A and B are shown apart, each in its own frame.
Chain A
Amino acid sequence: MEDAPTTMSSTARRPIWQRPVSRRAVLATGATGAAAAALAVLWKGNDLSQILNQVRDLTHGYQGALTSERVRMAHLLRRAGFGATRTELDHYVAMGQTAATEAILNYTKTSNAALESQLPTIDLGSSTPPTAAAIQSWWLQRMTLSARPLEEKMTLFWHGLLTSGLDKAGSAQLFTQNQLFRSMALGNFDELLKAVSKNPAMMVYLDTETNRKGKPNENYARELMELFTTGIGHYTEDDVRESARSFTGWTLQGGKQLRYATASQFVPRLHDAGAKTFMGKTGTFTGDDIVEMLVPLRATAVRLSTRLFSFFAYPNPDQEIVNHLADTFQKTHYNVGAVLREIFTIDAFYSDKAYRSLVKTPAELVAQTLKATGANAKTYTAAAVAMAPMGQVLFYPPNVAGWPGGTSWINSSTLLTRINFANAATQRGQGSLAAQSLGQLSDTLLDANVSPTTRDGLQSFEAAHPDDRTGLLFMVLATPEFQLN
């Protein structure tokens, strides 16, 4: 790999993301160690078959699941998108991994006409803005049906990083911002940040629309550094103040209603054209100048790379991986698509450590469930509402830091809600998948890879309720395996 870092001392040593995991070694140590421990704990007069069942679960591992080409593709489609229907999975498997990965990345070559023709019209020209429910179900339908899964997934990524929310901004503004994220999803980060800085939803959410010469407002300036670029510890309070001055001059265009304006404009007389000193440099900076100073910083590259890898592969990546991605980011003029290409092709992405290492976010859980059950227009509206008690309302992040994610998605309340959603969705399902066998359902939704107890339990359920395909699909969607991504 020509871009590999040159700082490695040992020539024989391969970068960590290229090092293969010895499946046999992992299995051997895992199995024997766990089995011995299990027997020691369990051998207290219990029924032998019960003990053997438990040992079987204890020693069941997922190591090596990603050696299967089909599981690798299902994994990629869960991460780069929102899971797959059986047809979609077959389609991408038939392409082969390299071609499929390219197709997913170069999605502009894939027509999305089928989706676009089905989507409800969101009318921004009317005097009343769309309802929150309308834009939420519109987006959820995109996530579920798009032929360009990565486009929707990255739109969700940007929404969770460069946050704006319905608590302050209007629905038409957030819809416009959503389109902006989609159109620049895999582009250059500096260009995206410049556009977002002038985006009405952001201008309302973080108050740049009130940021005027002589009356600086620090809100956007602070979060731009703390959350969107370098992270805390790389700037001073003076940098916050000087950056706020630099961003003055942008206002909302048209209409008097703060929450309705969907375009912005630069008004020179409202801009503080004086000299500012930002991160040791002095000049008559504009907001764009501030972005151009922040994006090249190594801290920005490291932070965004870590965030992307953690979103798509697994949390807390090794420093070597982060450095490699940050190098890619900097060498490609901050191109996000280039970083994603690395993420989806390095071995770490398909390592045992990556497998089922993320909790399905409510958006992922709901979209993949609807892929499985089928949906109509009403279903999307109901499902978007059902996401709230799971902890995620589209266009309404809990605060400017976005959704905390990870283990915070799982608590007793959200877990019951997730399982109850599977129940409701299968009961009102559109029947496309209900005719599938357990083997097919398990293959599409669970990688045919569950604990022996779950496998036996699902088989027993099918045997006991042979004509209850809805109940069987519910059981599949309620498994612990399906809660992970």
Chain B
Amino acid sequence: MFSRRDFFKQGLLPVFAGSAVPSVFANGVAAAAADSPSATPSDRVLVLVQLAGGNDGLNTVIPFQDGAYHDARPTLRQDQGVLRLNAQLGLHPNLKGLKASWDAGQLAIVQGVGYPNPNLSHFASMSIWETASVQGGIGDGWLGRYLNYLDQVGESPNHALEGVSAGSLVPPELRSKTPVTALQSLRTFRLQPVSEHGTQVDVENPLMKFYGAFKSAGPAPFGALLDTTLQEALQASHALQATDASYQPKAPYPANSPIASSLKLVAETIVSGLGVRVAHVTLGGFDNHAREKAVHDKLLLDLDQALAAFMQDLQGHGLGDRVLVMTWSEFGRRVKENGSAGTDHGTAAPMFLLGAPVQGGLYGQQPSLTDLDNGNLKFGTDFRSVYASVLQDYLKAPAADLLGGNFEILPLLKA
């Protein structure tokens, strides 16, 4: 538990932390980063928060004045404590941190986001969002393509930490030729030493040789995959060991909250100046077909508290201007609740964009709750419009090339 005094003491630290970041660049891994002149966009970090399972948009950004909402949700409707955004809409009562960001002009809410011919399969729809292609499939992820673009234009060093995800898997939206590191802890991300009679034995060099030989001798695609993966792992671990100890969180993260741990890890990689450009975290559990209320309330509370700590931490480190958070989910839920006090798979839902770079406000149209398609909302804003806006206005990347088409740019970000 942080005392108020501790907090204020820590609040003085950004001055020193700010001067520590360049020194990391000077000596460590990120030496490669120093080779290319660091343009402003390359300092920017996009943090994706995936709400896996299909978040109930109507119980996240709530049309609390709409009679149709109350009719469709006899047990699930939020009657009490909605955090008003305007006369019609309010945030779920547990989203107090997001409401504070809204009040500070740092939360953009895009309403009714979806795509044509919605797919109600989790996996098909996830794939559509991940590849930014309404066919879905196994191609590169839309942010994998962005990382790849950075390499091609020489704007980023091709090192293993420019794309990171918290967890044990690399998420499909970051997938491309460009390496991405799945991180679970900066401290354990290393080869553990092997010792014999108290003397450390060098295993790293022999293993590099084994894997190097296997690159050509081993079966495709695994020979090359294992070799490049080991190289990336050792490169990243050397980088992490050089910077490990410097990070001190400047906000209290909630305990026993996986999403808070994930975001704290992302903050640590950003603060440590490791050159991360895109980070991914996942909060799962949104597929609430039954007894939704208790589960969903808790998920939103965890999300909100973790995001609040994350934003406060980054601001404390003087990095708030460099970080944009964006949430997404494969779909929303059916308008009418089912008989299990839950909701079945639906379509359009809101997205959040959070942080100092954001031009706060509501974007897009709130979908009608009575003009439905098979009981589901009709989308108003294509998710690729949101992607395009972030790519063009925040990451300064060629959105149309990376998305394979032109999509309307929304003024979500400050000029």
Contacts and interface: CB of A to CB of B under 8 A. Distances in A.
B229 A412 contact: yes
Interface stretch (B63-71, B178-186, B356-364): B178-186
Contacts of B26: none
Interface residues of B, number: 64
Nearest to A409: B169
A453 interface: yes
Given A410-B225, A413-B233, A457 B189 contact: no
B287 A408 contact: no
A57 B212 CA distance: 9
Interface string A90-106: 00000000000000000
Contacts of A451: 210, 213-214, 217-218
Given A215-B340, A399-B52, A484-B222, A471 B169 contact: no
B96 interface: no
Contacts of A483: 222, 226
A452 B213 CA distance: 8
Contact of A58 (B169, B217, B229): B217
Interface in A291-319: none
Interface string B186-230: 001111101010000101001101111110111101110111011
Contacts of A415: 226, 229-230, 233
A400 interface: yes
Nearest to B235: A412
B124 A232 contact: yes
B201 A419 contact: no
Interface in B218-269: 218-219, 221-223, 225-227, 229-230, 232-233, 236-237
Interface string A453-485: 110010011000100100100110011110110
A420 interface: yes
B122 interface: yes
Given A219-B344, A465-B201, A474-B203, A357 B209 contact: no
Nearest to B124: A232
Contact of B342 (A207, A212, A479): A207
Interface string A46-65: 00000000000110111000
A38 B237 CA distance: 31
A389 B233 CA distance: 14
Given A210-B339, A401-B123, A419-B207, A388 B214 contact: no
A390 B168 contact: yes
A453 B344 CA distance: 56
A412 B182 CA distance: 7
A34 interface: yes
A461 B168 CA distance: 31
B216 A34 contact: yes
Nearest to A452: B213
Given A212-B339, A356-B219, A218 B345 contact: yes
Given A419-B191, A451-B210, A389 B184 contact: yes
Interface string B261-299: 000000000000000000000001101011100000000
Contacts of B289: 206-207, 210, 217-219
A468 B191 CA distance: 19
B52 A210 contact: no
Contacts of A219: 287, 289-290, 344
Contacts of B124: 232
A355 B216 CA distance: 16
Interface in A205-248: 206-207, 209-212, 214-219, 222, 226, 232, 237, 240
A407 interface: yes
A484 B222 CA distance: 8
12 contacts: A60-B213, A207-B290, A210-B341, A211-B340, A356-B222, A398-B169, A410-B226, A411-B181, A412-B182, A451-B213, A468-B196, A480-B211
Given A222-B345, A389-B184, A457-B209, 13 more contacts: A206-B289, A219-B344, A226-B121, A232-B121, A356-B218, A359-B222, A389-B188, A411-B181, A416-B233, A416-B237, A452-B213, A475-B207, A481-B214
| Across the A-B interface, the 9 shortest Cβ-Cβ residue pairs | A215-B339, A210-B340, A412-B233, A453-B213, A480-B214, A57-B213, A391-B168, A451-B213, A219-B289
Interface of B: 52-53, 120-124, 160, 168-170, 179-184, 188-192, 194, 196, 201, 203, 206-207, 209-214, 216-219, 221-223, 225-227, 229-230, 232-233, 236-237, 284-285, 287, 289-291, 338-342, 344-345, 374
